[in-house]
Amino acid sequence: MRQLVVIGNGMVGHRLVEAVLSRDTDAPWHITVLGEEPRPAYDRVALSSYFDGAGEEELRLPELSDRPGVDVLLGEPATAVDRHARTVTTSTGRVLDYDALVLATGSSAFVPPVPGHDLPGCHVYRTIEDLENITATASAAVQRRDAPGVVVGGGLLGLEAANALRLLGMRAHVVEMAPWLMPRQVDEGGGAVLGRLIAETGVTCHTAAGLAGIEPAPGGEGLRVLLGEQGPGRQSVDAGIVVFSVGVRPRDELARAAGLEIGPRGGVAVDSACRTSDPRIYAVGECASAQGTVYGLVAPGNAMAEVAADNLVGGRAAFTGGDTSTKLKLLGVDVASFGDAQGTTEGALEVVLNDAPGRRYAKLVVSDDATTLLGGVLVGDASAYASLRPLVGRALPGDPLDLIAPDRGGSGGVGAAALPDDAQVCSCNAVTKGAIGTAIAEGSTDIPALKACTKAGTSCGSCVPMLKTLLADSGIEQSSALCEHFDHSRAELVEIVAATGVSTFSELIARHGTGRGCDICKPAVASVLASMGGGHILEGEQAALQDTNDHFLANLQRNGTYSVVPRVPGGEITPEKLIVIGEVAREFGLYTKITGAQRIDLLGARVEQLPAVWARLVEAGFESGHAYGKALRTVKSCVGSTWCRYGVQDSVAMAIRLETRYRGLRSPHKLKSAVSGCARECAEARSKDFGVIATEHGWNLYVGGNGGFTPRHAELLAADLDDETLVRYIDRFLMFYIRTADRLQRTAAWIEGLEGGLDHLRAVVTQDSLGIAAELEEAMRRHTAGYADEWRGVLEDPDKLARFVSFANAPEAPDPTIAFEIERDQPVPAGPVALGMPEAPGRAGARPARAPA
C-alpha cells in the first residue's frame, strides 16, 4: 500500500484526507496526518463562536483517526523533509516514509516587529489556545478594572477579535493602518458606512493610524499602545490586552529547508495540479502560492484540496483560481464582498447605492456595457449576497440598480430560478445549484440532509438561505414542528390551546402530540399556557415544565446561587423602597448591582433564602421583576418633561403605565422596552423590542430592536400617537407576536420572518388588516385583569414554598460548595483557591468571607 503523509491537520488538510478517502481507487493510500496542535482538527472559520459559548467539541471536524487506513499524530509536527530519501522526520524523532507528501501547514499570524510586541498581555488570534490565553488575560484585566482592549488590525478577523473582547466584558479599540476598515474586502464608500455602524456598537476605531510601539503602562499594570510618529501630537491608548490581527504569513519554512521553489510573496509555488517543484510533493491551502497568489480563505484551500486529491488517485483536475467571496456578520453588522469587489477590471463600471439614513451601502461592479456582473460590496444589508454571488461572470438579469435597491421597485436580488445549474451556490465547497437539485431529487429534503449529502452550508453558512429557497422552489415545505413530540408549530399550539381550552401539558400532548415531551416542548408549552392565563407557573404539573430559572423564579448564577431583581417600574423608586433594598442586601449578605435597565440586582442568594428575601421585599411593596422569565423585563425611561429642559412628554409616567400594564406577560422570548422623553433618546428606546420616543405631537412607536450578540435598531411602526392609541397599538403588537412567533424568537427575527415584514405588521396593528384587533386587545385585557405577583403566590402557598431547599432530605442545610470572598467591599463568588483549586489569573488579593446567613 502506498504511503501518503499529510503535514498539517487544519481544515484544508482535513478536507484533503476526506477527499482522498471519498474517491474510488484501485491503489488505496495509507495516510498519516501530522498535527502541530494537540487537539483534533476543528473549524477555524467558526473560531469566534468560542466566545459565544461554543466549546471545542462543537468546533471539531469529523474524526479522521476512526477511518481505516488513517493515522493522526497530534502534537507531533514535522521538523524536516528529506526529498531524496522521501522521508519526513517529526518532533519526536519518528521517521516516516512517503510515496507522496502533501504540505498543508497553513499560515501563522503576522506580528509587526515594533518595540514591545512581545510583552506579556500581547496575543494573536489564530488557534483555540490563543483564544484561551486571550480569555485569561482579558478576564484578569476586567477584574482589575484595567483599560480597554486594543486590536491591531481592522480586517475581518480584527473585527471578530474586537467583538470577542466586548463579549469578555471589555471596551474595544481597533487600530487600522488603512483609511477605512476591511480595506481588502470593501471599498472606501463601504468602509465609511461600515465604520459608522461599528462605532455605534461602542467600538472605537482608529483608522489611518500606524502602530509605533507598545510599552508597559505607568503603574506596572497593563500596556500603553503608541500610535503615529514620535512627537507632541502622538496618540496613545492604554490597554489591558493587545490582540494582533494584522494578517498572516504562509508557513513555508519546511519547504524552504527542503529546497522547494517558493512563490514571489512567499508560500510554496504550485502548478495547476497543486504540485510543487518536486512532483511527489503537493501543497494546498494558505501555505501554497498558486500563480503567485497566496489565498487566505477556506474556499480556495478546499478547492486546492479537491484538486490535489483528484491527482493523487490518477485524475487530472486543475486549480484555476479561488473564490475570495466573503459574507460575515461583524459586531452585528452584515458585510459581504464577491468577485472583483474593488473594480480593478479594465473598463469596469460601478453602480452604487449609498443609503446612510438606511444604514446600508451596496455596490455592483459590472462590465463596460453593463450586461455582466463582475463583483460587488454589501454593507449593512447583505441579504442579496446569496443570489448575487453565483451570478459573477454571468449576464445580469436586469437593471443592476434594481438588484440592490428594492425600495425603487427592484427585486433586491435574483430569484433562485434565474440561476443556471452550473452556478456555484456554496463557494466554500464548490457546490453548484445543479448538484443541490440532484440531491433534493434523490431524497435530501431538509437542510441537514443537504449539508450531509453535498457539504453545502457546512463551512461559513452564508449559502443556507439559498438552500432553503431551493428546497421551497422544489415544492418541499420545511417542517415548522415544535419538536419530535408535536407536529404543530408554536403558533399552531397557541391556536389549539385558545380553541380547546386545554390547560395542562399532559392533556395537550395526549390529544395533539406523542410521547412524554422534552426540554424543548415543555418550557415552550408552559410559556403558551402562562401567556393565556394558565395560573401560577409553579401550580401543579406546571412546575415540572419550567427551566431552572422559572422553576425558582430567580436567575441561576455561576456559583449556584440566585439573583433577585424586584420590579421598579420606569426606574422610579422612593427613598423608602431604596432603603429596604439596601437593608435586605445587608441582612442576607447579597452583592448589589445597578443594571443597564435601571434596576437593582441582588446577587448571591441561596435557593433556601429566596422566600425570605422575597418576603421582605413584598412587604415593602415590591413584586417580581421577571428578570428570570421569557416575559416583559423592564420599561426603561429618562426623566422626561418633569425635570429635563429638553423633554416634550412625561416619559416616566408613560414608562410606569406600560410596565405596569405588561408586567408578567409571558412571551416566546424576553421583552425589553424604553420610553424617551424627546428625540435625544437618553433611554435608548430604539434598541428595544418596543420603544417609545416623545414628539411635540405625541409618541413615536418603534418595534423590533434588541441588543445581545446581534444588535438591531427598532423600526418606526407609527408616529405622533396619543396616549390611548399608543397603548392600543402596543397591545396588538405584543399579542400578535405572542401568538405567531416561534419558540425563542426575538421580535426582530419574527418581523424579518413575516411575509411582508414591517409593512405587513403595520397593516395588522394600525389598520386591522386581518380583522383580529379586537381579539388581540381582549386577550391583553384578560392578561392585565388576571395578573398576580409570582413571588407573593409562592409565599402564600406552603406547597410551593416546600420546593425552595438545597437538599430535600435536609431542608435547613445550606449548600456547602457555595463560598464567597470580598471584592470592592462586596461578596462575590469565591475563586478557585478558596474552593481548593489552582489559582486563576486576576483574583489575587480578594479577601475570604463566610457565606451570608
The CA-atom distances, in angstroms, between 176 and each of 113, 124, 138, 246, 434 are 16, 16, 21, 8, 42
- Buried-state track 460-474, b at ≥16 Cβ within 10 A, e below 16: bbbbbebbbbbbeee
- Residue 404 is predicted with a pLDDT of 83
Question: CA 374 to CA 376: how far, in whole Å?
Answer: 7
- Residue 429 is predicted with a pLDDT of 78
Q: Distance between terminal CA atoms of the chain? A: 71
**Are the CB atoms for 608 and 645 separated by under 8 Å?**
no
Instruction: Identify whether residues 782 and 642 lie together within a single domain.
Output: yes
- Residue 471 is predicted with a pLDDT of 84
Per the domain annotation, does 560 fall within a domain?
A: no
Per the domain annotation, does 604 fall within a domain?
A: no
3-state SS of 676-730 is ECCCCCCCCHHHCCEEEEEECCEEEEEECCECCCCCECCEEEEEEECHHHHHHHH
Instruction: Identify whether residues 304 and 405 lie together within a single domain.
Output: no
- Residue 485 is predicted with a pLDDT of 84
Task: Identify the weakest region by mean pLDDT among 70-74, 131-135, 440-444, 700-704.
Answer: 440-444
Domain count, the chain: 7
C-alpha torsion angle, residues 821, 827, 832, 833 (rounded to 10): 0
**Are the CB atoms for 750 and 703 separated by under 8 Å?**
no
Question: CA 751 to CA 761: how far, in whole Å?
Answer: 7
Instruction: Identify whether residues 160 and 97 lie together within a single domain.
Output: no
pLDDT of 230 higher than 80: no
Per the domain annotation, does 563 fall within a domain?
A: no
Q: Are strands 29-35 and 2-7 parallel, antiparallel or unpaired?
A: parallel
Per the domain annotation, does 317 fall within a domain?
A: no
Domain boundary at 546, 565, 582, which? Answer: 546
Instruction: Identify whether residues 260 and 215 lie together within a single domain.
Output: no
- Residue 853 is predicted with a pLDDT of 43
Per the domain annotation, does 482 fall within a domain?
A: no
User: Average of pLDDT values for 132-161?
Assistant: 86
DSSP calls for 50-110? GGGT--HHHHBPPPSTTSTTEEEEET--EEEEETTTTEEEETTS-EEE-SEEEE---EEE-
pLDDT of 24 higher than 70: no
User: Average of pLDDT values for 476-504?
Assistant: 83
Q: Which residues contact 343 (CB under 8 A, 6 or more apart)?
A: 187, 350, 365, 374, 375
Instruction: Identify whether residues 346 and 286 lie together within a single domain.
Output: no
Question: CA 160 to CA 158: how far, in whole Å?
Answer: 5
Domain boundary at 224, 246, 268, which? Answer: 246
Give residue-wise pLDDT tens across range 704-749. 998 765 678 899 999 999 999 999 999 999 999 999 998 889 999 8
* More confident call, 55 vs 72: 72
Instruction: Identify whether residues 682 and 795 lie together within a single domain.
Output: yes
Q: Quick one: 692 exposed, middle or buried, by C-beta within 10 A (0-12, 13-18, 19+)?
A: buried
pLDDT of 809 higher than 60: no
Say which CATH number the domain at 34 has. 3.50.50.60
pLDDT of 348 higher than 80: yes
Per the domain annotation, does 538 fall within a domain?
A: yes
Instruction: Identify whether residues 156 and 192 lie together within a single domain.
Output: yes
User: Average of pLDDT values for 496-510?
Assistant: 87
Sign of CA dihedral 289, 294, 296, 302: negative
Note every long-range contact of 490-494, with CB atoms under 8 Å and residues 24 or more positions apart, other chains counting.
Answer: 490/524, 490/528, 490/668, 490/741, 490/742, 490/743, 491/739, 491/740, 491/741, 491/742, 493/524, 493/525, 493/528, 494/528, 494/531, 494/532, 494/738, 494/739, 494/740
638 marked as part of a ligand binding site: yes
Alpha helices for 261-392 (secondary structure H): 298-312, 385-388
- Residue 411 is predicted with a pLDDT of 42
Task: Identify the weakest region by mean pLDDT among 425-429, 432-436, 560-564, 771-775.
Answer: 425-429
Instruction: Identify whether residues 356 and 401 lie together within a single domain.
Output: yes
Q: Which residues contact 299 (CB under 8 A, 6 or more apart)?
A: 322, 323, 324, 325, 427, 428, 429, 430, 459
693 — pLDDT class (breaks 50, 70, 90): very high
The pLDDT > 70 percentage for the chain reads: 91
Q: Quick one: 725 exposed, middle or buried, by C-beta within 10 A (0-12, 13-18, 19+)?
A: middle
Sign of CA dihedral 424, 425, 431, 432: negative
Helix pair angle (521-531, 490-500), 10° resolution: 50
Instruction: Identify whether residues 838 and 694 lie together within a single domain.
Output: no
Instruction: Identify whether residues 399 and 426 lie together within a single domain.
Output: no
User: Average of pLDDT values for 472-496?
Assistant: 81
Cα angle value 296/301/307 (rounded, 5°): 150
Question: CA 412 to CA 720: how far, in whole Å?
Answer: 31
**Are the CB atoms for 842 and 141 separated by under 8 Å?**
yes
Say which CATH number the domain at 459 has. 1.10.10.1100
Q: Can you tell me whether residue 559 is helix, strand or coil?
A: coil
678 marked as part of a ligand binding site: yes
* More confident call, 347 vs 535: 347
Give residue-wise pLDDT tens across range 604-628. 998 889 999 999 999 999 999 999 8
**Are the CB atoms for 548 and 540 separated by under 8 Å?**
no
C-alpha cell, 48: 469566534
- Residue 842 is predicted with a pLDDT of 43
**Are the CB atoms for 581 and 575 separated by under 8 Å?**
no
Instruction: Identify whether residues 421 and 498 lie together within a single domain.
Output: no
**For the chain, what is the radius of gyration of the CA atoms?**
30
Domain boundary at 527, 546, 565, which? Answer: 546
Per the domain annotation, does 590 fall within a domain?
A: no
- Buried-state track 57-75, b at ≥16 Cβ within 10 A, e below 16: eebebeebeeeeebebbbe
Question: CA 661 to CA 413: how far, in whole Å?
Answer: 42
User: Average of pLDDT values for 244-268?
Assistant: 94
Q: Are strands 671-676 and 632-637 parallel, antiparallel or unpaired?
A: parallel
pLDDT of 810 higher than 60: no
C-alpha cell, 136: 485569561
Q: Are strands 248-250 and 107-109 parallel, antiparallel or unpaired?
A: antiparallel
- Residue 697 is predicted with a pLDDT of 92
User: Average of pLDDT values for 318-332?
Assistant: 81
pLDDT of 271 higher than 90: yes
Per the domain annotation, does 562 fall within a domain?
A: no
Instruction: Identify whether residues 403 and 428 lie together within a single domain.
Output: no
Question: CA 481 to CA 126: how far, in whole Å?
Answer: 39
Say which CATH number the domain at 732 has. 3.30.413.10
- Residue 479 is predicted with a pLDDT of 67
Q: In what order do the strands lie in the sheet with 715-721?
A: 632-637, 671-676, 690-695, 698-703, 715-721
Q: Quick one: 105 exposed, middle or buried, by C-beta within 10 A (0-12, 13-18, 19+)?
A: buried
Q: Are strands 715-721 and 820-823 parallel, antiparallel or unpaired?
A: unpaired
811 — pLDDT class (breaks 50, 70, 90): low
Q: What is the mean pLDDT of the chain?
A: 87
Task: Identify the weakest region by mean pLDDT among 31-40, 98-107, 741-750.
Answer: 741-750
Question: CA 383 to CA 361: how far, in whole Å?
Answer: 12
428 — pLDDT class (breaks 50, 70, 90): confident
- Residue 117 is predicted with a pLDDT of 94
**Are the CB atoms for 387 and 401 separated by under 8 Å?**
no
- Residue 4 is predicted with a pLDDT of 96
448 — pLDDT class (breaks 50, 70, 90): confident
pLDDT of 288 higher than 50: yes
- Residue 252 is predicted with a pLDDT of 95
588 — pLDDT class (breaks 50, 70, 90): very high
Give residue-wise pLDDT tens across range 190-220. 899 999 888 888 889 999 988 999 999 887 7
Q: How many residues does the chain have?
A: 853
Question: CA 712 to CA 691: how far, in whole Å?
Answer: 12
Q: State the residue range of the domain holding 832.
A: 824-849
